[in-house]
Chains A and B, each alone.
Chain A
Amino acid sequence: MNSGEILFVKCVKDGIPNRDPLNESDARRLFGEDDGRISLSDVSIKRDVRDFVLARYPDGGKNQRNFVFCRQERTEDGKLLGRQKLAEGILDIVKRKASKNKRDDLMASTFDMRVFGAVYSVGKESFNQTGPVQFGWAHSLHPAETKYVQGTVVMPGKDIKVDDAGEQQGNKQGTIWTTYTLPFAVFAMPAVVNANIAEDTGMDKDDVDLLLEALWKGTQHRQARGRGMQQPLLMMHVEYKDPFFRIGYLEDFVTVKPGREAWTGGTPPTNLSEVELDVSGLEEIIAKNKKKIAHVRYWVHPGLKMSGSLPGERNELD
């Protein structure tokens, strides 16, 4: 497989895809107060990918090679399993429980270890492996304002009890919830794929295809109210002939219209039909580096308006 880069653009409605626990679960804001953009960590995007693969291949798929190591699993009495048990669970299914080389066996059986790498620290069996695929932070392509909203829950937090005097004790009313939410935003996220590291982990072309599918469909199928309704808009995979070449920062070559004034004004865009993605910068940079590029393929959401045209092969996901 080739080294390459991925550019992934998605939008979200009525929710924050990745919250900041240090700021009362508001959106993550890495840029200054004048900038106004918000950000999503690579960790949150990898979670979407893993969840998709886990749901798609609960039995590990063909050749039992697509298990997911980094997952939440509980014992019968509800306790969360630790790294060792999670790994043993997989090795047990692939009949390599007595394995002497856990690293290689886990790499061969788990999609996320092959693709994202792993830090495995269990007693003497510790190892860490950098992943061939590294996602960057996703930033919104425009300033985005979050709203603080509150609502009520009909259920009281505690049951009502009747004391000895016959009086009702405890809350008689439901509780109030509060949260930050984001009406609408478009994010761009970069990723790099390193062919040399892929050799170490055993990642192959099929893994890249599954990763791209998971990125798209995992985002689409993300089910959590607070994370909002997400929609992948554009995904581009650029493969290079030279494993040591990279254009870099592909996300900087796409912009969203309307510009910042509209987003900071009184009526910012609130849905996909009000925005347009300008990819002419991307078109130009790819044309410029044509000789070093082996292959370009991309996927576009039908509802996305684009200015500029992308080179390469346009694909459809089933």
Chain B
Amino acid sequence: MVEGGISPGEILRQVSDVAAVNAKGFLANVFVVEINLLEAEVKIEALPVQEWGEYQLQSPESKKEVFVQDVDRAMGTPFVIPSGNPLKPQGRYGIPSYLVYDKHFQAFTKEAEEVKKYLYGRLNRTIAVELTEAQIDEIANKLHEITSKVYKETKLLGLIVLAVLEKDGPFQLHETMPLGDSSRSYLGPSVMHKGKHLVADLELVKERFWEAKLAEGAEMGEREGGEVVCYFCGHEDRVVSSYCKAWRWFTPTWKCPLPVSMKPEELVETIALCPACYGALTYGANLFNKLTKPLDYWLTKELFSPSASAAGKEMSRRGNPESVAGCAYALPILDNFLEDEDDRLGFIDGVRTMLGRKPRGNKMDVHLGDLTGFEMFLPQEMDADEYRLTIMYYSGDAGRGDIHLRATVEDVMPSVARQLKEITGNISDFAVDLAASLQYEVSEKYQGFLKRRYSSLPYLLTTAYGAPYTWKMLSTVMHRGNISRRPFLSNVSGRMNELSRKLPDGFHELRSEVVFYLSFSEFLKKYSDAVALETGNGGYEWMRDWREFQGMVAEGPMNEIVINDPEELGFAAGHLVRLFARQYWHASNGNDFLKHRVMTFGSSLTPDVIWKRALSRMDEYARKLNMKISDDLRQRFAVVLMEYSRLKNETHKERDAFMAAFWAGYALAK
């Protein structure tokens, strides 16, 4: 991408911040100073203040106007929004275009000396621009004058561009405005030569920009001569250190990756890069930063909530968890893939689309935000299995090089991502349908809530397995690994058990857990059938579809009731207990059966308690309260009781499966 295939303007757009949302303010006040070094007598004039962009309505319905920058113009004067103290000069400048903050404006309006100080600091770090002291004085005076007119003590941002006209320089005088010419961008009308225009040659701007970046690397060491070798490509000639302002993961201020005895200026002794590789590093680092997005806030809260405690989960939702950022990119698996012109163009288009973060109305672009937890698209060009996705998660303050890497998921096949996306889409529909079966009315808001959660793979995995395993599970699933059902059952039944103590008040939350239990079971089933390489299910048989199974237990012929395992037994028991509890409620003037008769003295519900105090004593309770329970129900109880005796040992081992299914049967019984 650096060496060919995309226009210089496109490169400048991608490696600088001109197109960033937070660059808007700077381009609303652009101060261009025309400095003509082409003629014997050097002339300096300031152009009137310009707006490089226009105010547009925020949305068709809104009355609020926002400034939208004209990126095509700004590409001629690329800048990087600093991560350190913005008031100080930062890094190296390829061309003299400098950001101005409100504090600068305040100083500029006081006296020209302040502008001079500002310019000196930056010109010293600008490559290939040489101005005399007298010229800088004159520029400072002009800028002092013009900024004093504009600044009215309201917060202001701006951009100063010193358009130095010189032979073979990036800024030139043109007869016409560069309309439709993608190799040039327009700076404004010349003050000195009426009718002519100041124009930036993007190819030359790009060269200067790269040169400045290289100078940044050279700050931490530079070597030249026959004995130097590029760490990556083996090129011998000139190398600079890997210090790169855009790549904050490897900074000399953070000693960890360096030997303790090493000084920052000797960084070139560790990883040295030739100009081409350094350009690629800068480019890649910028793309990485631009592709990085924070995880959805609601999801971060879920990620850090305890999976085995319902109250803890609720509590965590109220807290403010640390923000986690994610980045995903796709790279071809074979080195020689990009040698083909078509493949290379496809790759470039793909990267461009990923940066755009918006689907092109093309159904083949897959929105993978549901899988990763942050906004991202996998463009059609990159969804073939010649590509592999890399996903990274980290927290901390990247600007300070303080990064806590949480997970790296490498080598994800696009086809697997697509399959998983399809499954989670189905699961969210499944969860909404299930909620409708559990409640009489499911509001649109609640549907939206369920859809968002159940289509999110990180949410499903973290709720099922708990925070310590989230990243590992994500990686396992994306690599088609085998995942176990047992920890999920243990966590979900733990939450249900906790909620059951609050019954009948906490029934709504319990129903939500039932939605999770059955939906995640469905996810596991679909995942095992369609994605996982091994289909073993940790010794588990899948429970039959709950509708089919419920139909058999509730209405099917008595001799056809077949219960395969403790999970199905739990579901059947839950269903029948709920039917009985309804009648009990009427007969006992509003007493909750489970609370009144089964979970006495605040005890927990276990398979044994259900068997001893609920299933086997139905007749006794019915007689005491003079309840008229049907023969059919009585016989169904008898079947479940017999099955319990048969499966007693297995049920003790699979207690969690029994209990989770019990609550599902209980909540779903009509």
Contacts and interface: CB of A to CB of B under 8 A. Distances in A.
Contacts of B406: 22
Interface stretch (A26-34, A189-197, A200-208, A284-292): A26-34
Contacts of A33: 465-466, 469, 472-473, 484, 487
A26 B307 CA distance: 12
Contact of B260 (A20, A36, A121): A121
Interface residues of B, number: 29
Most A C-beta atoms less than 10 A away, residue of B309, B395, B468, B486:
B468
A33 B491 CA distance: 11
Contact of A26 (B395, B468, B486, B655): B468
Contact of B467 (A24, A34, A176, A266): A24
A119 B468 CA distance: 30
A178 B260 CA distance: 39
A23 B467 contact: yes
A176 B469 CA distance: 26
B121 interface: no
B283 interface: no
B265 to A, nearest CB: 14
Contacts of A88: none
B606 interface: yes
B487 A20 contact: no
Given A22-B406, A148-B308, A29 B261 contact: no
A24 B469 CA distance: 13
B308 A145 contact: yes
Most B C-beta atoms less than 10 A away, residue of A121, A148, A180:
A148
Interface string B283-318: 000000000000000000000101011011001000
A294 B636 CA distance: 72
A150 interface: yes
Contact of A126 (B260, B404, B469, B538): B260
Interface string A11-25: 000000000101110
Contacts of A148: 306, 308-309, 311-312
Interface in A21-63: 22-24, 26-27, 29, 32-34, 36
A128 B260 contact: yes
A22 B484 CA distance: 24
Interface in B484-509: 484, 486-487, 490
A137 to B, nearest CB: 15
A119 B484 contact: no
Interface string B630-644: 000000000000000
Interface string A270-312: 0000000000000000000000000000000000000000000
A150 B465 CA distance: 21
Contacts of B309: 147-148
Interface string B450-493: 00000000000000011111001100000000001011001000
Contact of B468 (A23, A34, A128): A23
Nearest to B261: A126
A285 B260 CA distance: 41
Interface residues of A, number: 28
Interface string B308-342: 11011001000001000000000000000000000
Interface in A222-264: 261, 264
A180 B260 contact: no
B523 to A, nearest CB: 16
A150 B312 contact: yes
Most A C-beta atoms less than 10 A away, residue of B255, B309, B465, B653:
B309
A283 to B, nearest CB: 33
A129 to B, nearest CB: 11
A26 B308 contact: no
Most B C-beta atoms less than 10 A away, residue of A20, A33, A36, A126:
A33
Interface string A58-83: 00000000000000000000000000
B469 to A, nearest CB: 4
A32 B486 CA distance: 12
B260 A119 contact: yes
A180 B653 CA distance: 26
Nearest to B464: A33
A27 B538 CA distance: 25
A36 B315 CA distance: 24
B315 A178 contact: yes
A176 B309 CA distance: 16
Contacts of A180: 306
A136 B177 CA distance: 70
A20 B606 contact: no
Interface string B551-571: 000000000000000000000
B484 A34 contact: yes
A26 B312 contact: no
Contact of B655 (A24, A121, A178, A266): A266
Contacts of A126: 260-261
Given A121-B255, A266-B655, A20 B468 contact: yes
B459 to A, nearest CB: 16
Interface in B68-92: none
B487 A26 contact: no
A29 B260 contact: no
A150 B312 CA distance: 8
Contacts of B466: 33
Interface string B374-404: 0000000000000000000001000000001
A148 B484 CA distance: 23
B312 A29 contact: no
Interface in B528-556: 538
A120 B484 CA distance: 46
Nearest to A128: B260
A22 B472 contact: no
Contacts of A176: 315
Nearest to B313: A148
Given A22-B404, A119-B260, A266-B606, A150 B311 contact: yes
B344 to A, nearest CB: 39
Which A-B residue pairs are the 5 nearest by beta carbons?
A121-B260, A148-B306, A148-B312, A29-B468, A148-B309
17 contacts: A20-B468, A22-B406, A23-B467, A24-B304, A32-B472, A34-B486, A34-B538, A119-B260, A121-B255, A121-B260, A126-B260, A126-B261, A128-B260, A148-B311, A150-B315, A180-B306, A266-B655
Given A26-B306, A34-B484, 8 more contacts: A23-B467, A24-B467, A26-B468, A32-B469, A33-B465, A148-B306, A180-B306, A261-B653
